[in-house]
Amino acid sequence: MTHCETSGTQVISAPQQLWEVCSPADAYKLAFASNALASAIYATEFSQSLARIDELDLLRVDLPNGESVPLLKNGANGYFDISRTGRRFVEESYARGVGNTSAYLVIPETPCLASDRLHGLARDCGTALQSLTNLIPDDIVIASVAGMSFESYARYYDSHLSIPSYWTICLELLRRLRLSDKLEALECTFRMYQGDLASKFSALSSPSLFVFNRHLSSEKLCISNSGRNRIFVNDDAPNKAHLLLIGDSHSYSAMSQIMSHYFSRVTFFWGTRANGYGDAADEIADFYSRADFVIEEISERFFLRNFTRAA
């Protein structure tokens, strides 16, 4: 995500852009189409750039049709290299959290979502997180997306998932919270977007599916992402509860918007327990005291790197 250069809180009005009510089937088709367009735009440039861009940390995933897709590498997180010192640091980091959460969500890398293309990555992640369940009992969710083709749940040339994937993850979270998971439609946009991998080697953009920010009420900007927050208000939401969502770019760019279609108020903060939420700790604690549900999300590629850096 691009870092802000200003700070302060501003009121957000709904932008004048096209939107449509999107069903899961529609989202599936649009995600598939956006990936096809992204591949057509970036594939040749990417293959020509691999040899000369050393800083790209990539994993190649082979598809059944013979294509090879670039993804951020997550195999260097050192899942099996957690010393006793590291384990203590995990425990201490987790203790710095705001309090008990309704769910703790680890969003895996895209190749981990495809069970037939794991290459050991998701297996390593799952084993490591399972070994920490004595520290985080019944509190970890390792998201999975089943029954979708790779071409729809990935977002080509980007380190994030597609909207159908985030939608599925949010429904799983609602089920985990013992809430109705009847979220059958979202307001979505199909707009030009440059993936964070694509931006390293191309100036071109391709269409991609996003959830419309109709319910965005206010946003606090910041110089760095940590502490950034967004508040969504939906008076017509099926559930009148207040959700506090703490996370990173997955929550900022997709999950908070999706959840705003279900909860009457969603407050998102960009932060992690690894540093006790930094300068946003007091604000998060205040919202925590008033929230009905609290979900903490972190990308798998940041989880052990952040929580075991003292090892």
Predicted pLDDT at 132: 59
**How confident is the model over 150-188, as pLDDT tens digits?**
678 878 888 888 998 899 889 888 988 889 877 888 988
Which residues in the chain come in under a pLDDT of 70? 1-19, 47, 49-91, 93-94, 110-140, 144-148, 150, 223, 304-311
**pLDDT per residue over 77-114, tens digit each?**
444 445 555 566 666 766 778 878 888 888 877 666 65
Q: Single out the residue of 220, 269, 263, 235 nearest to residue 11, CA to CA.
A: 220
pTM: 0.81
Residue 130 has what pLDDT?
60
Q: What is the pLDDT of residue 10?
A: 39
For the four alpha carbons of 231, 236, 240 and 245, in that order, the dihedral sign comes to: negative
